[in-house]
Amino acid sequence: MMPVTDVFEAELDILDLHDYKPIITRGYNCMMHIHTHADEITISHIVKAFEKDNKGGVTEVDKPKFARS
């Protein structure tokens, strides 16, 4: 029997967001691609986000309300 799960924690690299949904929040539905597998997921929590500013610096935000690409 193959083990399965409903919840897991992952580090995501947000590559592209739609113009009508420019941020990711709790409840965001999207497609996750892992190698050759793709599945629809719902974001339930955002633990940490790293945001780049215009000067190239990176700011770490704990428990943000949203994340951008």
Task: Pick 27 or 2 by higher pLDDT.
Answer: 27
The predicted-structure confidence for 12-69, as pLDDT tens digits, reads as follows 887 778 888 888 899 988 888 888 989 898 889 999 988 888 888 888 889 999 887 7
pLDDT score, position 52? 82
Cα 53 from Cα 23, distance rounded (Å): 16
